[in-house]
Structure 1
């Protein structure tokens, strides 16, 4: 690891949690240069829903490169962009009776969030965006302004303006209705909160600690948006592309956001790719008003198009939900078996986690898990949640092995708590 210590910036983080050099990956497994095998409960922070090196996607990429296919094209028309748009409409939008224009804002999640915020302000003529406690939306200035984490926000180095944070579902406990509070702020002209251009939220907060919004809460947020003519932006960068079961995490609630942000696994193969979905009547961009050099990533078009084969039927979503129920049952059993860790099971589908009531215990568990051959990261404002986010293609054997390692790590980590 010496070359990384000597040459790479101190800003690096994941390599500190997983201190080895990886060289091979397949499905839900990785191997390092020493030949050690690891089960992946991290999945590229949600960018590898279809696993590492899916053979079907890999072959499509190899064929395209061998044919001297266009790789970089800005926003020019290419055959692979055309194929992606057609397949996305046929496989994803039409079966769900959704009507969206597709914008290519750049290669990352923060690019799609920035485009959504900018468009909402352009359409409404308003400046304020309402976001929610514990939310995470990206690391560029606009996205940071609607992100809750104080450590991340501090890194901006400048004031983060024109955003107001409201309490997420259950942030204030079961006895306080956070949306009634939001409504009062909007109703009362003395609240100090101006009418916003948009409300942005994650239905499951990934980096915020696997906090899950109820379907009823989401419906009420949509109702509030319609009542006050506020645009509703759903950030599905991590929770989308099947991570919670259905392709869009908001599907069970029945809401229809005005704008949807997708990245991470929409790239199919871990390739940088993002799209912003916009209701047609809101597509008021002037040509070139928002652009980016790498918004025409044709390798990502190829991979993303091939990945849509997983969604030709509802079997993939059903399997993810089944596996999620298996994980949830296991995590709830852990909360009963190890009360000294003060555990709470959280999440939906294969976006789950264990919240630890004992400080620093989640970090210790993930450290021990890595030593035992499991890659898992923490989330939450204090790093109190150990995440269980394997590739969606993981089989039951892999799940069982990974969950067993997780439990063994909890047993080891809680020995000091018992003492």
Structure 2
């Protein structure tokens, strides 16, 4: 590593991760461009692991935040009523809930996705009086203990230091191949008193698994899952933390299936600006909380409310933004399919939706990591995902231009050739 990184090596915990993959000191960022202290520019296909759906330092949000600060607006408010929160709730109700026919209540949790998941699991258990929760293979729901229990990856689970209980793990859609409907097993085990699976409080699922390798649940699978849970009084939790807020094309990744979840967790890009913010959407009958039963000092990040409102009003008042994402999604998918067709011996699999795609290679599970490393040396930030880090993960800002998208894909092609030549 360079001398510029010495202080991080000397003083920052060994737990640091991304700095090892992208070893430079970043100083500024605009749109889809990161700029290092040395002035070098990097095209960003990472977007803060899904936090920056609207790009870095979007001027629409920067302007709103500056105006709010100059007005001496409330910054920290716990769960007190503030004008910033009021305006956000009204915008969310008008632009997200009502157009989708949703009547969910909003719970503002501590500002991480993991805390939103913790709250969702807790309220589901309170509302049903049951403790077991069904989660799926390759799921990622966070790294605090309750959320970690629902997370599948052994690397993260091994860091817990205690047993991770009250979760039953079952296969996600496609886990056993395209010919097997994994919900046959779920339904059988729920209805068989000899299965050993207690009737759960909830099922928690991602419509598109991000960290798990860009695995996409089919529409029929999600619809059947909703039917199975509804018929048995099981709450359905959709984790939209990475796949939501436009990432897969619609505001919510579950929208394409037409289902209505009981609980939805939202974080990452909900603030628009990258400021920490999380919320849980609850059907009114599930909102059984007693006042103060799930708190958090920073559940009232009013700056995040300001930029979140600006994001909703500027990007979700009509279909122009969604139409643009669809166009760029088609371009990305087409180019990735071309790469897969050019390297048939590697058995690449392209999967994803919207601007959340993966190029998976089981034949050489280290290839994605080598491509990522080569890409960084050529000025592109792109990460990997999957149980073996075998998936090259495309997560550009939804505001990226088509020219930038094509330039990044060109770097990926160069990096693939270099990785294969090693």
**TM class, shorter-length:** over 0.9
Corresponding position: 1:360 with 2:366: yes
Corresponding position: 1:343 with 2:348: yes
**Equivalent pairs, count:** 416
Per the alignment, residue 102 of structure 2 pairs with 98
Q: Please list every run of 5 or more consecutive structure 1 residues that lacks an aligned counterpart in the other structure.
A: none
Q: Tell me which moved more, 406-415 or 126-135.
A: 406-415
What secondary structure is seen at the aligned counterpart in 2 of 1:245? coil
> Structure 1 residue aligned with 2:244, among 237, 240, 249?
240
Corresponding position: 1:230 with 2:234: yes
What secondary structure is seen at the aligned counterpart in 2 of 1:242? coil
Cα distance in 2 for residues equivalent to 1:389 and 1:359: 20
Residue 65 of structure 1: how far off its partner (Å): 1.2
Per the alignment, residue 261 of structure 1 pairs with 265
What secondary structure is seen at the aligned counterpart in 1 of 2:244? coil
Residue 134 of structure 1: how far off its partner (Å): 0.2
Cα distance in 2 for residues equivalent to 1:30 and 1:129: 40
> Structure 2 residue aligned with 1:369, among 365, 371, 375?
375
Residue 353 of structure 1: how far off its partner (Å): 1.2
Per the alignment, residue 327 of structure 1 pairs with 332
> Structure 1 residue aligned with 2:416, among 404, 407, 410?
410
Per the alignment, residue 194 of structure 2 pairs with 190
What is the CA deviation profile of residues 276-305 of structure 1, one whole-angstrom value per residue up to 9, with x for unaligned ones? 000112111110011100000000000100
Q: Tell me which moved more, 340-349 or 35-44.
A: 340-349
- Does structure 2 retain, via aligned residues, the 8 Å contact 1:54–1:269? yes
What is the CA deviation profile of residues 94-144 of structure 1, one whole-angstrom value per residue up to 9, with x for unaligned ones? 111111100001101001100000000000000000010000000000000
Corresponding position: 1:296 with 2:296: no
Q: Tell me which moved more, 114-123 or 171-180.
A: 171-180
Corresponding position: 1:117 with 2:109: no
- Does structure 2 retain, via aligned residues, the 8 Å contact 1:38–1:374? yes
> Structure 2 residue aligned with 1:285, among 269, 274, 289?
289
Give the TM-score of the pair, scaled to structure 1: 0.98
Cα distance in 1 for residues equivalent to 2:180 and 2:408: 37
What is the CA deviation profile of residues 220-269 of structure 1, one whole-angstrom value per residue up to 9, with x for unaligned ones? 00000011110000000000000000001111100000000000000110
Cα distance in 1 for residues equivalent to 2:260 and 2:63: 35
For residues 391-402 of structure 1, the aligned pairs below 5 Å read 391-402=397-408
Cα distance in 2 for residues equivalent to 1:177 and 1:300: 41
Per the alignment, residue 160 of structure 2 pairs with 156
Give the TM-score of the pair, scaled to structure 2: 0.98
Residue 19 of structure 1: how far off its partner (Å): 0.2
Cα distance in 1 for residues equivalent to 2:294 and 2:49: 27
- Does structure 2 retain, via aligned residues, the 8 Å contact 1:341–1:414? no
Residue 371 of structure 1: how far off its partner (Å): 0.4
Cα distance in 2 for residues equivalent to 1:13 and 1:252: 34
- Does structure 2 retain, via aligned residues, the 8 Å contact 1:340–1:414? no
Corresponding position: 1:57 with 2:61: yes
Per the alignment, residue 209 of structure 1 pairs with 213
Q: Please list every run of 5 or more consecutive structure 2 residues that lacks an aligned counterpart in the other structure.
A: none
> Structure 2 residue aligned with 1:86, among 87, 90, 96?
90
Cα distance in 2 for residues equivalent to 1:209 and 1:222: 23
What secondary structure is seen at the aligned counterpart in 1 of 2:92? helix
